[in-house]
Chains A and B, each alone.
Chain A
Amino acid sequence: MNSVIKGASYILAFTPEMVMQNGTTQTTEKIVNPESEYLKQLESHLRTYEQVVSYPPNQAYIGNIHPNELAQIEQPWHDKAIEGASRFGKYGEIMPEDEFICLMQICDVFDLVKLDKSFVAATKEKLEQHPLMTADIIARLKEGEDAELISKLVSEEHSEALYYNKELVGCVKRAHDVDVNLSAHVIHENLTSKATNVLSLLNLVAKNNINKEDIDYVIDCSEEACGDMNQRGGGNFAKACAEIAGFVNATGSDVRGFCAAPTHALITAASLVKAGTFKNVVVSAGGCTAKLGMNGKDHVKKGLPILEDVLGGFAVLVSANDGINPEIRLDLVGRHSVGTGSSPQAVISALVTESLDRANMKITDIDKYSAEMQNPDITKPAGAGDVPMANYKMIGALGVKRGDIEKKDLASFTVDHGMVGWAPTQGHIPSGVPYVGIARQDILDGKIKNAMIIGKGSLFLGRMTNLFDGVSFVIEANQGKTKEEGTVSEEQIKGLIAQALKNFASNLLAE
C-alpha cells in the first residue's frame, strides 16, 4: 500500500540585515575588497518587508497564487506587486526579521542568543498576535539584556551580531572557546536553519489540521551541519526542531545530499510509511544564511534590488494511505547511480526515463515535472539563465530523441509539462519539493493526474566526489485502495482455520 502526501507547508523569513552580515558573497567581499563599490551600494538595493511580501514569486511560494497565475505576470517580476498581498498564505507565511530574531532565541536551548531588552519587549507583543505562536512557545523567549552587554559580546567575544533596522539588537555567542564547529558563526547559521525549519513545522500542522502528537518521525534535509570538533555534522536537526515544535511523540534524523536531499528524504519517508515502520513522517528543512545575496553583485550591477533576501523553509507530511490524498509511487523511483555518468543526457535519462520505461510510460504521460524550481527573476540577471526552463528543455529534448514527442513540439512541451520557477535560490529549498504541496492540491482538484518530483545535487562542492547526484519519484491521484491486495481478512483466516480443523478431524475419524 503506497504512502500519501497528506500536507505541506512553505515559509519565508525576510532577513535583509543577515544579507549584509552573513551572506558569503558579502562576507567574502568584506575580507578581500572591504572598500568595494558593491558594498557601498548594497544597502540602497535592499527591499522593504512590504515589497518582499507583495513580490509575486514569494506569494506563489506561500500559496497565495498558483504558479500558473505567476506565469501570466510578465517578467521581470521585481518591479511587479500582488495587490493586497498577505504575509500569511495557504501553505505558510513570510516572517519579518524582528519576529524571526526572537524565533531564533525561542529555538536556542543553550542560552547562546542574547537580545536587547527593549527589542524583546517591542517584538514580543507582535509575536503574541501571531496565530501559531502559542503561550508555551512564547514562554521560551527571555526578557532580554542591556545593550552594553550585547555590544561587549560582539566587540570582545566574537559573538555574531544580530541587527534589525540597522540597529544592534542582539547577538549569537560562541558555544566553545576553541572549537570552530561551535563558533558564533556556525551556531548562528544552525539556529537560523533550525528556526526556519520550526516555523515550517508549525505551519504544517496548523494549515493541514494535523495533531502534533500524531507525528512519529521527522527527517531534516537541509544543507547545514551541527556537531562539535569530535563529530562535526553529527546532527540531529530533526529531533531538535521537533522538540520546539512540540512533536512530543516524534524522534527523527537528518538526511543529507546537497540540493537532492529533500527528494532523498521524501523517498525515505515514503518507504518508512509503506513498510509500516511509522504512520506519519515529516520531511522538513530550514534555510541558509550563507546564500543570502549570493548573486547580489550581478543584481546591484544591473540596478536591481537584492532579490535573495529571504530564508526558505518547508515541511511535507507523508502518511499511511487514507484513500484520498495523492500516492507516492515507489516503483517509479529514478536514480542517478555511481555508474550513470555525468553528461546531461545520462543524468536526465537516469532520473526521468528509466523509471518511466519500467511502467511503459512516455515522457508525456507525466502531467507536470518539478526539478529545479529556482525563480528566474533571480538567476537570469546573474547569467545562470532560466533554470526550470533549462530542465524542461532537457526533458523535452530527451523525449524527442526517444520519439515521445516531435521536435516541433518541444516549446509547447515546456509549457504544458513545465512551470515557471518561484522558489528562492536557497540550495535544497527550490529542488523539486516546492511543487509537492501544490501538486497535492492540483491532483485533489483533478487538475492533473500525476507529477514527477526530481531532486538534483552537486556533490563536488563537498570535495569528496566529482559524481553528480539525483533521485526522482512520481506522485499520482489516489487509487482508492486502502488495503494491500493479496492480504486476507480476519473472517477469511477464521474460515481457513475452521476448514483445516475439519480436515484434521475427518482424517482422525478415517483412521
Chain B
Amino acid sequence: MDLENQKRVKEFAEKYGAENLVVVLGAAEGEASGLAAETVTNGDPTFAGPLTGVQLGLTVYHVCEPEIKNEVDAAVYDEQVGMMEMVLDVDDIIAEMTPIREDFCKYL
C-alpha cells in the first residue's frame, strides 16, 4: 500500500475510530490484497509507511469477497465488478484475506 494511502487510512482511523471503519480493497491478485490487508490490520510489513508498527486491526475485505458482494445490489455489482470478478482469481484472494482477518482484525 503506498505511503499516501497509509497516511489517509491512519487519519480516518483517528478521526472516525478504528471500530467504525471498513477497508474495501480492489487489488488485482491475492498477494497484493494480503499485503494491503496486513498493512491496515497488523501494520506495514514493508516497514516503509506511516502504518509501520501501527496495529489498527481494521475490518478489511476485498470487493470480490462474498461478504461485500452480498451487501451490494446485484445489478450494480454486476455493472461495476462483474467483469473483474470473471478475471480475478477470487478463490486465491479469499484464501489470502481470510487468515489475515482472523489473526489481526479487532472488530469482527
Within 8 A of B (CB), among A326-370: 343-345, 348
Interface string of B3-46 (1 = CB under 8 A from A): 00000000000000000000000001101100100000000001
Q: Does B75 contact A (CB under 8 A)?
A: no
Q: A32-B48, A383-B35 are in contact. Are A390 and B28 (CB under 8 A)?
A: yes
Q: Classify the secondary structure of A's interface with B.
A: helix
Question: Is the beta-carbon distance between A393 and B31 smaller than 8 angstroms?
Answer: no
Question: Is the beta-carbon distance between B35 and A397 smaller than 8 angstroms?
Answer: no
Please indicate the chain B residues that have their CB under 8 angstroms from the CB of A45 in the complex. none
Question: Is the beta-carbon distance between A385 and B86 smaller than 8 angstroms?
Answer: no
Please indicate the chain B residues that have their CB under 8 angstroms from the CB of A400 in the complex. 86
Within 8 A of B (CB), among A393-452: 393-394, 397-398, 400-401, 407, 410
Closest to A28 in B: B48
Question: Is the beta-carbon distance between B83 and A344 smaller than 8 angstroms?
Answer: yes
Q: Does B95 contact A (CB under 8 A)?
A: no
Q: Does B79 contact A (CB under 8 A)?
A: yes
B: number of interface residues (CB 8 Å) = 15
Q: Given A343, A348, A383, A390, which contacts B31 in the complex, CB threshold below 8 Å? A: A383
Q: Does B87 contact A (CB under 8 A)?
A: yes
Q: A344-B84, A345-B80, A398-B83 are in contact. Are A385 and B48 (CB under 8 A)?
A: no
Please indicate the chain A residues that have their CB under 8 angstroms from the CB of B82 in the complex. 345, 401
Question: Is the beta-carbon distance between A393 and B87 smaller than 8 angstroms?
Answer: yes
Measured CA separation A419–B69 after assembly (Å): 32
Q: Does B81 contact A (CB under 8 A)?
A: yes
Measured CA separation A157–B66 after assembly (Å): 59
Question: Is the beta-carbon distance between B32 and A394 smaller than 8 angstroms?
Answer: no
Please indicate the chain A residues that have their CB under 8 angstroms from the CB of B81 in the complex. 343, 345
Closest to B29 in A: A385
Least Cβ–Cβ distance between B75 and chain A, in angstroms: 13
A: number of interface residues (CB 8 Å) = 18
Measured CA separation A344–B84 after assembly (Å): 7
Please indicate the chain B residues that have their CB under 8 angstroms from the CB of A385 in the complex. 28-29, 32
Measured CA separation A410–B46 after assembly (Å): 36
Within 8 A of A (CB), among B49-71: none
Question: Is the beta-carbon distance between A397 and B87 smaller than 8 angstroms?
Answer: yes
Least Cβ–Cβ distance between A25 and chain B, in angstroms: 10
Q: Does A493 contact B (CB under 8 A)?
A: no
Closest to A344 in B: B84
Least Cβ–Cβ distance between A465 and chain B, in angstroms: 15
Closest to A397 in B: B86
Interface string of A68-106 (1 = CB under 8 A from B): 000000000000000000000000000000000000000
Measured CA separation A190–B32 after assembly (Å): 33
Please indicate the chain B residues that have their CB under 8 angstroms from the CB of A343 in the complex. 79-81, 84
Measured CA separation A498–B32 after assembly (Å): 76
Measured CA separation A393–B90 after assembly (Å): 14
Measured CA separation A211–B97 after assembly (Å): 58
Measured CA separation A410–B28 after assembly (Å): 18
Please indicate the chain A residues that have their CB under 8 angstroms from the CB of B86 in the complex. 393, 397, 400-401, 407, 410
Question: Is the beta-carbon distance between A345 and B83 smaller than 8 angstroms?
Answer: yes
Measured CA separation A401–B87 after assembly (Å): 12
Interface string of B81-102 (1 = CB under 8 A from A): 1111011000000000000000
Question: Is the beta-carbon distance between A383 and B32 smaller than 8 angstroms?
Answer: yes
Q: Does A509 contact B (CB under 8 A)?
A: no
Least Cβ–Cβ distance between B49 and chain A, in angstroms: 10
Please indicate the chain B residues that have their CB under 8 angstroms from the CB of A109 in the complex. none
Q: Does A510 contact B (CB under 8 A)?
A: no
Q: Does A384 contact B (CB under 8 A)?
A: yes
Please indicate the chain B residues that have their CB under 8 angstroms from the CB of A410 in the complex. 86
Interface centre among A32, A393, A407 (most CB of B within 10 A): A393
Question: Is the beta-carbon distance between B87 and A390 smaller than 8 angstroms?
Answer: yes
Question: Is the beta-carbon distance between A345 and B79 smaller than 8 angstroms?
Answer: yes
Measured CA separation A410–B82 after assembly (Å): 15
Measured CA separation A318–B32 after assembly (Å): 40
Least Cβ–Cβ distance between A375 and chain B, in angstroms: 17
Measured CA separation A307–B28 after assembly (Å): 22
Interface centre among A344, A348, A384, A393 (most CB of B within 10 A): A344
Measured CA separation A407–B82 after assembly (Å): 13
Interface centre among B29, B83, B86 (most CB of A within 10 A): B83
Least Cβ–Cβ distance between B39 and chain A, in angstroms: 13
Please indicate the chain B residues that have their CB under 8 angstroms from the CB of A348 in the complex. 83
Measured CA separation A348–B84 after assembly (Å): 11
Question: Is the beta-carbon distance between B48 and A394 smaller than 8 angstroms?
Answer: no
Measured CA separation A407–B31 after assembly (Å): 26
Measured CA separation A398–B32 after assembly (Å): 24
Measured CA separation A401–B80 after assembly (Å): 13
Measured CA separation A385–B84 after assembly (Å): 15
Measured CA separation A397–B84 after assembly (Å): 8
Measured CA separation A374–B32 after assembly (Å): 18
Q: Given B32, B79, B83, which contacts A384 in the complex, CB threshold below 8 Å? A: B32
Measured CA separation A345–B86 after assembly (Å): 11
Least Cβ–Cβ distance between A378 and chain B, in angstroms: 15
- Cross-chain pairs A/B with CB under 8 angstroms, 8 sampled: A345-B81, A383-B35, A385-B29, A385-B32, A394-B83, A394-B84, A400-B86, A401-B86
Query: Using a CB–CB distance below 8 Å, which chain A residues touch chain B?
Result: 32, 297, 343-345, 348, 383-385, 390, 393-394, 397-398, 400-401, 407, 410
A345-B80, A345-B83 known; 16 other A-B pairs, CB under 8 Å? A297-B46, A343-B79, A343-B80, A344-B83, A345-B82, A383-B35, A385-B28, A385-B32, A393-B86, A394-B84, A397-B87, A400-B86, A401-B82, A401-B83, A401-B86, A410-B86
Instruction: Give 10 nearest A-B pairs by CB, closest first.
Output: A345-B83, A397-B86, A393-B87, A343-B80, A397-B83, A383-B32, A385-B29, A383-B31, A344-B84, A397-B87
